[in-house]
Structure 1
Amino acid sequence: MSNNYDIEVGKRYTIYNSLFLDLPFDDIYRTGTLLPILQAACESGYQQQKTPTQILKQFFSDMLPKVSVKEHHELLFQMVQYIERQVVLFDSIEDAAFEKINETKSKGSINALINRAENDNKKAALIEKLKTFAVRITLTAHPTQFYPGNVLGIMTDLEKGIRTNDLASINLILQQLGKTAFIKKQKPTPIDEASSLIWYLENVFYYSIPDILYRILKRLDLDIHAWENTSLLQIGFWPGGDRDGNPFVTHETTMAVADKLQRWILKCYYRDIRKLRRRLTFKRVEPIIMKAENGIYQTLFTNEQVFTNKESLLEILYEARELIIKHHDGLFLELLDQFILKVKIFGFHFATMDIRQDSRKHDNLWEGIFESQKGAAFVENFKQLDEDQKLEAVFATTELPESYSDEFHTEMIQSFKSINYIQENNGVAGCHRYIISNCQSVLHFMEVFQLANLTLKNKDVLKLDIVPLFETVDDLANAPGIMRRIYNNPTYMDHLKARDKKQSIMLGFSDGTKDGGYIKANWGIFRAKEELTKLSREFGISVIFFDGRGGPPARGGGNMHNFYASLGPDVENEEIQVTIQGQTISANYGKEMTCTYNMEQLLSAGLENHLYPTVEKTLNAEQRALIDEMASLSYEAYKSFKKHPQFVSYLEHVTPLKYFGEANIGSRPVKRNKDEAMSFEDLRAIPFVGAWAQMKQNIPGFYGIGSAAMKMDQAGKLDQIKNLYKNSLFFRTLLGNSMQSLAKSNYAPTRYLSEDETYGSLWDNMFEEYQKSINFLLKIGGMDELLEDNPVSKSSIKIREKIVLPLITIQQYAIQQLMGQHSEEEVLTLQRLILRSMFGIINAARNAA
């Protein structure tokens, strides 16, 4: 597979990269000619332990000795732009070779799983599981997509040209790429973010999801028309509804996005039914199809709502279906059934919107409610009550005030009411979950439950799922106790019975890792899932886990197939739900082939976990004790690191963290409390992880592993850890994903910080842990090199890191220079260099934030 990768990707990149030199742009030949020389200078310079400044100064002295510093900087900007486009080219080449470098029809594919089930006489069990199972991926608007929409479109066209080796087309598209800006002049609004993600719904998911389900049913000889679980594959949607820390999301935004989702699914239906009518031209049938087509048109383009829900559309389509069977021998019935399947899957909502808000905002809202109704003295007294007394006051509230002194409180109530609007227009599937970020108590949960009762309840029915989000190490540990008290509440249990006895619980990998370090967070989430599963089964509740993941291992990314296949019987397996964001959307779900592959991987992982429970998926007491000990040791190391007096200062003043807010890639601020000084608690996980990735230090993806393994080795337990790695899929996946973080790390460009008076000891600490982690992971995995068992990832990372090495050097040069004294103009230039180089570094990693 590695040789195949080198031919299909590595060699092609070398060939097509040469086309850049012939592009008709100013100074491009000089830039393209000097760039390989700079790349070689960086490689040799870091081997000699030179600093980025020394490397660049030597480079300019050798190659451009008579050019001014200002012209040097202009060349660096040109190189940044050149490298950005090299990364786009490489991404497109890799995407074009996707089928050849990935085993798309073997392990992890649905076809392979069905073959295995048939061979093992488990076909019936597979069908039964498919009747109730579901996978939901939720698209989020977190700011990690550095490619603007027009560049994504160029990449799609470039990939097509590369697939067919159309040099003329490739050359033209590269010219377009050279003239297309990578930087957005303004921050996107939440509506802009929603529009960007709807592109994937319309052009990718609308085709991939029905295709997967259709192939599964055909392969298993199941009647497509009679199949009931059309929610097997679902799409969730956060843009427009996720208002946690985003002041730009209002209830008007939420409703506008819901309207936009409905319009786009109707456009998809209209496009398809026009194609369908070209085949269904039979007597009796054609008039009915035309009626459906006209009804969609009028609903979409006029004020006449002919169809108000999917049922009204399906009723007409079913009528046409019966006539085809009765009078036309089922001719083209399959085409109609495929269209009906799409309507059943996507309804009038396209994707399910979630509403999310921070628990502290609900606390504040309730204080506003009490102040309006009972005065300021009551509020002060309320703050002194214990939790049970506070709950009593909340549930004693039977109506809400007509007005509030705080406009934001009015907005929050309107946000709840927007759920009614969506359910009435798009169906209950359009919005049926309210997620509570930073949920730390029963009160946080019940505050939202009661607000929902007071704003949304219709005829004693509340069609809303309340979803707590547990994130920090302490929150994860406390989650079972909180949920026990919630389950013991008779009013809430009555609500759960009306919701099919299903309780969704969200677990945050990103903030968990930020808070507790890599092993502690992942182990804490695994343990929490087991305890919450046991507790929920005790109460007769089906718990559904919703994993808040990002792209890199530091935020729960990496190999998700192995992760979900490894959970074992003690973790509820009703559904797999996971957030997908930023680059991970475009990289893993941006095209039909990659989308189908990755959705099948998730689906087959959950099914495989159910059908094939093995010893390697079940942890025994000894194995649990080992992981528990490693988690504790790594947590202590990570906590000690976070307590370093310069930890926050380093993030704020050395890393590019603050520039994330200036990159115009997302509508959300870098931290929750934008008007306050930077604190670790308020810092969002995405820029936190992204800042370490920019520095090529990747702390959240490995820190603590080396220290923990070293202490286990000193205690004579290294052989036990090796056996654990060999025999536990969960542990092997956990460490394997961390290897990705380490493989994308490079401490040579920041070695100069070891000499810094303020930050030297912090850098030394990081570098020591980096070396220890690599050393022990290689010992534990029995490898000579990182990712030895994953040659495709290893090759991809190696080429990508080589491409961006000059970019990393340019950014570190600017950071290093800013530590000295410069004129205001020079400072602005250096800051621009840092900001501009961020795009290529992030994009090359594909899942760095």
Structure 2
Amino acid sequence: MKVSQKKSVFHNEVLTRFDLYKSLFLTLPFQSVKHTGTILPFFSTHCEKGVEAKLTPEDIIQSFFGQYEQYVQEEDQIDFLFRIVQYIERQVVLFDAVEDSAFQSVGKADDSGVLQSLFRSAQDNTELKKTILEKLHNFSVRLVLTAHPTQFYPGPVLAIITDLIDALKRNDLHNIQLLLQQLGKTPFINKEKPTPVDEAASLAWFLENVFYKVASEIQSNIDSELEVPIDDVKQLIELGFWPGGDRDGNPNVNVESTKKVASMLRTILFRCYYRDFRLVRRRITFRGTQKYLDILQDLFYDNSFNPIENPTDDTAKILENLHNIKEVLNTMHEGLFVELVEDLIRKVSTFGCYFTTLDIRQDSSVLRKAFNYLVERYPETGLDLKEVTVSEAEKEKQIAFTALNLEVEKDADALVIDTLEVIKLIKDIQKSGSERAAQRFIISNCQQASDILGLMQLFLWSGWKKDDLTIDFVPLFETVDDLSRAADVMRSLYANQTYAEHIKRRGNKQTIMLGFSDSTKDGGYLMANWSIYRAKIELTAIAREYDVDLVFFDGRGGPPARGGGKTQRFYASMGKEIANEHIQLTIQGQTISSQYGSLETAKYNIEQLLQAGIISELQQKDGDTLTNKQKEVIDQMAHQSHDKFMSLRKHPLFLKYLETLSPLKQLAEVNISSRPVKRNSGKELRLEDLRAISFVTSWSQLKQNIPGFYGVGTALQWAEENNLWSNVKNLYENSGMFKTMMDNCMMSMTKSNFDITAYMQYDETFGDFWSMLRGEFELTKRYLLKLSNSSVLMENYPIERASVLAREKIVLPLLTIQHYAIRTMLNKKLSPEQEAVYRKLIARTIYGVVNAGRNVA
């Protein structure tokens, strides 16, 4: 489908249908506020005109209330604003549902057959088929679900969205109206902060309703296209899970929550198996199968509804009985219904008894504290704390990897106790679900080789044996400085004989996690992206030198400022210098619901990642491997951008501006996540303690999106002034990595709207600071339009642009209300009760604005 056709279809199938169904939506039965639904369009238009006129939020809101007699009292005004927020929250859901229901019509699914097309062409090309099979034999995509606080609809709302999408596809007006009414009466907000187990339960909805079905379906289609026998199937799609295991900075994650989540995942999985098995049993009523069916009935039912404390891994037993049934069907019953059994075999082979790998993550400083605690407490470790802390080289030398079974005392620091107890718990989790149930320990803020070696020693001091250490130690490099040191850290590790032997026992594979979020906050958009890309080149070279199979695990958030955006295009353009045999990335917040919230979108996005991994090797473009000159140009621009961003960070008003004008403080009060918005939560706010999610979210609520563009314009201007523009233009036209980076930057800017805060240019305190931010925005916009030969941002992605702008229009009233509430708290003397009301109003607007920002691919 041509771009012009897609635009026309998007307008008819999404924008027009949304407007039509919105009239139904405005009749939603909220509480006793008269005429709110009918007044909403007038309020939205009033906000749009006010922003265009660059009025303050107070002027916009108060001039609106001046038109209506029933809203004279402040109490009535606040009540009305809350109702408006409720309507708009649900308008966002309606727009999501309309857009998802038009997935096929709009033409995004045109690309979804590319993978199958490639496989079909291989059927007539023996050499191509052989190459693809070899690639797939050592290739996988791992999607790791994380509970970062960027968006979470409660389970009931997710179910309504699913049903609404289905009703919209069928144009079932009656059910659409009923579902919209249900939506109106269903709470969107958690009354209390969720626990890590609550977060795991929320994410498990996607595991149970989407990934369980889609992963096996894609695997089945690929096996069928390439004619791979089911017994020779190699798992291509893997799942990872962080809620309940990620204790980095989250004081609410502990051993008990890890244990509960592991058990819950197993139980949910067996309920999925049991539902499928009931269909198998209903169809297979033949002689010779009964005894196997009876065994499976007991296994599936008991594990679904009567789970025991310490279960065992029953995967082999389940598969044995399923294969026995399959054999009986093939030998005695002409293979009748054998496809139902093969489907369940494929699912059990994929998910075992664990469903998804539960990753454990902790900060290196906590792990060092646990190491030092055992050295101090137990002389039998043979280490002198003074000696091992003298230097990194001495510490690496002193770690002897002795196997002991040391106990932690009850008076130890709580984080030390948790670290040592979870190391022991991992062994129990593996017993109940195989090593795939919990096989990775991620070391956040990894700064030196001894951070990994010390953790390995902690395992050996906790009852694990060197030869049976079924754990992958995953360093996480995230800040610009840590990324620059990453290559030296890994060289030290590979050169360590004991660690090298461990890698060999682990299939000669090393996983390295690279984080986008903190590097963006640390060094700005361009430097963060370039630092990670450059680190990948250096880390790949060292891994190849030591003959290690390197796996990059990318910590990506939803928006481009946190590594999101057109993800599959990054992976399709890595070039020859970067290991790309495996694709692993985090998916979180709105990315989960927008890209993996339905069977169609999940299938599309997973296949896009699979295709990106295959194409990056089979059809690699010359421009994707950067020349030395290209690297030099990007490096110089990254430093220009970094200098510009650092001058902003060091500005005395930087943090004060964010704290005063954005809802940063209220983020801590929003019951989305169990973890705090900053580390060291009891202390005064420092930029280094502020979590990257909170940092990026605060800028997005201001509609300024600084982390997604600031410094890019300065870098491009510098390139032009130094006669390098032709080089930059060549990079954009030929390097998939650089083009994707710039296109994602344009997406960030399209989601910005400085007109909303234009009144700030006259502010006595922040006026010049605001003007400086706006100046870099305009500079970056000018150069990106020149670079992409466009007249508007995202001109080359018209459907995504239309979707972004439609969402921005929906949430504009929310932003007006939010900024009005923030400024009222700043400028008025309020009672504690009034302050509480305004804080709640701000918190409620945050949800809708965040939930609307789903355009990340």
**What code does the residue aligned with 2:616 have?**
N
Mean alpha-carbon deviation: is it higher for 1-10 or for 716-725?
716-725
Q: Does 1:145 align with 2:159?
A: no
What do the CA deviations read for 1:770-826 (whole angstroms, capped 9, x no partner)? 111111100000001111111111110111111111111111112222221322244
Describe the shift of the 1:322–1:384 C-alpha distance in structure 2 as closer, same or farther (beyond 3 A): closer
What do the CA deviations read for 1:744-792 (whole angstroms, capped 9, x no partner)? 0011111222222332232122111111111110000000111111111
The residue aligned with 1:14 is 19
- The offset of 1:273, in angstroms, is 1.3
Describe the shift of the 1:383–1:819 C-alpha distance in structure 2 as closer, same or farther (beyond 3 A): farther
Q: Does 1:70 align with 2:78?
A: no
**What code does the residue aligned with 1:153 have?**
A
Q: Does 1:352 align with 2:360?
A: no
- The offset of 1:392, in angstroms, is 3.8
The residue aligned with 1:317 is 322
**What code does the residue aligned with 2:673 have?**
G
What do the CA deviations read for 1:578-630 (whole angstroms, capped 9, x no partner)? 00111111111111111111111111100110111111322122222221111
- The offset of 1:302, in angstroms, is 4.4
- The offset of 1:388, in angstroms, is 2.1
**What code does the residue aligned with 1:228 have?**
V
CA distance in 2, matches of 1:119, 1:234: 30
**What code does the residue aligned with 1:682 have?**
D
- The offset of 1:837, in angstroms, is 0.8
Describe the shift of the 1:394–1:18 C-alpha distance in structure 2 as closer, same or farther (beyond 3 A): same
The residue aligned with 2:849 is 841
> Secondary structure, in 3 states, of the residue corresponding to 1:243?
coil
Are 2:406 and 2:461, in contact at CA under 8 Å, matched by a contact in 1?
no
Q: Does 1:251 align with 2:255?
A: yes
What do the CA deviations read for 1:96-120 (whole angstroms, capped 9, x no partner)? 1112224324367421332455677
What do the CA deviations read for 1:698-731 (whole angstroms, capped 9, x no partner)? 1111111111111112223223212221111111
Describe the shift of the 1:611–1:186 C-alpha distance in structure 2 as closer, same or farther (beyond 3 A): same
> Secondary structure, in 3 states, of the residue corresponding to 2:111?
coil
> Secondary structure, in 3 states, of the residue corresponding to 2:550?
strand
Aligned with 1:157 (options 142, 155, 163): 163
The residue aligned with 2:578 is 571
Aligned with 1:437 (options 444, 447, 461): 444
- The offset of 1:548, in angstroms, is 0.4
What do the CA deviations read for 1:615-648 (whole angstroms, capped 9, x no partner)? 1322122222221111111111111110011112
**What code does the residue aligned with 2:222 have?**
I
The residue aligned with 1:484 is 491
The residue aligned with 1:280 is 284
Describe the shift of the 1:848–1:118 C-alpha distance in structure 2 as closer, same or farther (beyond 3 A): closer
- The offset of 1:61, in angstroms, is 2.0
What do the CA deviations read for 1:1-24 (whole angstroms, capped 9, x no partner)? 111001111011111000133334
Are 2:312 and 2:431, in contact at CA under 8 Å, matched by a contact in 1?
no
What is the 5 A alignment of 1:179-218?
179-218=185-224
What do the CA deviations read for 1:17-41 (whole angstroms, capped 9, x no partner)? 0013333444666222322222222
**What code does the residue aligned with 2:836 have?**
L
> Secondary structure, in 3 states, of the residue corresponding to 1:338?
helix
**What code does the residue aligned with 1:446 have?**
L
Runs of 4+ in 1 over 6 A off after TM superposition: 303-307
Aligned with 1:782 (options 778, 789, 814): 789
The residue aligned with 2:273 is 269
CA distance in 2, matches of 1:517, 1:707: 12
Describe the shift of the 1:769–1:285 C-alpha distance in structure 2 as closer, same or farther (beyond 3 A): same
CA distance in 1, matches of 2:331, 2:120: 35
- The offset of 1:401, in angstroms, is 4.5
The residue aligned with 2:372 is 367
- The offset of 1:80, in angstroms, is 1.1
- The offset of 1:697, in angstroms, is 0.8
Q: Does 1:667 align with 2:671?
A: no
CA distance in 2, matches of 1:116, 1:781: 34
CA distance in 1, matches of 2:118, 2:193: 44
Q: Does 1:608 align with 2:612?
A: no
The residue aligned with 1:327 is 332
CA distance in 2, matches of 1:285, 1:307: 25
CA distance in 1, matches of 2:133, 2:389: 55
Identity across the alignment (%): 44
Are 2:388 and 2:394, in contact at CA under 8 Å, matched by a contact in 1?
no
- The offset of 1:351, in angstroms, is 0.3
Describe the shift of the 1:28–1:739 C-alpha distance in structure 2 as closer, same or farther (beyond 3 A): farther
Aligned with 2:241 (options 233, 237, 241): 237
What do the CA deviations read for 1:114-154 (whole angstroms, capped 9, x no partner)? 24556776222112211221000000111122422222222
- State the Cα RMSD in Å: 2.1
Mean alpha-carbon deviation: is it higher for 622-631 or for 525-534?
622-631
CA distance in 1, matches of 2:643, 2:546: 35
The residue aligned with 2:724 is 717
CA distance in 2, matches of 1:500, 1:747: 52
What do the CA deviations read for 1:670-718 (whole angstroms, capped 9, x no partner)? 1121122111111111111111111111111111111111111222322
CA distance in 2, matches of 1:246, 1:515: 21
What do the CA deviations read for 1:62-83 (whole angstroms, capped 9, x no partner)? 3448712332222111111111
Describe the shift of the 1:522–1:465 C-alpha distance in structure 2 as closer, same or farther (beyond 3 A): same
CA distance in 2, matches of 1:398, 1:150: 49
Aligned with 2:116 (options 90, 111, 114): 111
CA distance in 1, matches of 2:579, 2:86: 48
**What code does the residue aligned with 2:601 have?**
T
What is the 5 A alignment of 1:422-461?
422-458=429-465, 460-461=467-468
Are 1:689 and 1:848, in contact at CA under 8 Å, matched by a contact in 2?
no
Unaligned runs of 5+ in 1: none
The residue aligned with 1:791 is 798
The residue aligned with 1:698 is 705
What is the 5 A alignment of 1:357-756?
357-373=362-378, 381-382=386-387, 385-395=390-400, 399=404, 401-404=406-409, 405-408=411-414, 409-458=416-465, 460-756=467-763
Are 2:401 and 2:457, in contact at CA under 8 Å, matched by a contact in 1?
no
- The offset of 1:306, in angstroms, is 9.6
Describe the shift of the 1:467–1:380 C-alpha distance in structure 2 as closer, same or farther (beyond 3 A): closer
The residue aligned with 2:3 is none
> Secondary structure, in 3 states, of the residue corresponding to 2:190?
coil
> Secondary structure, in 3 states, of the residue corresponding to 1:249?
coil
The residue aligned with 1:339 is 344
CA distance in 2, matches of 1:156, 1:431: 31
> Secondary structure, in 3 states, of the residue corresponding to 1:363?
helix
CA distance in 2, matches of 1:452, 1:283: 51
CA distance in 2, matches of 1:284, 1:397: 54
> Secondary structure, in 3 states, of the residue corresponding to 1:819?
helix
CA distance in 2, matches of 1:532, 1:303: 44
Mean alpha-carbon deviation: is it higher for 749-758 or for 296-305?
296-305
Mean alpha-carbon deviation: is it higher for 282-291 or for 728-737?
282-291
Are 2:520 and 2:527, in contact at CA under 8 Å, matched by a contact in 1?
yes
Q: Does 1:297 align with 2:310?
A: no
Are 1:842 and 1:848, in contact at CA under 8 Å, matched by a contact in 2?
no
> Secondary structure, in 3 states, of the residue corresponding to 1:783?
coil
Describe the shift of the 1:789–1:28 C-alpha distance in structure 2 as closer, same or farther (beyond 3 A): farther
The residue aligned with 1:226 is 231
Kindly tell me the number of residue pairs found equivalent between the two proteins.
845
**What code does the residue aligned with 2:530 have?**
W
**TM-score of the two chains, using structure 2 as the length reference:** 0.95
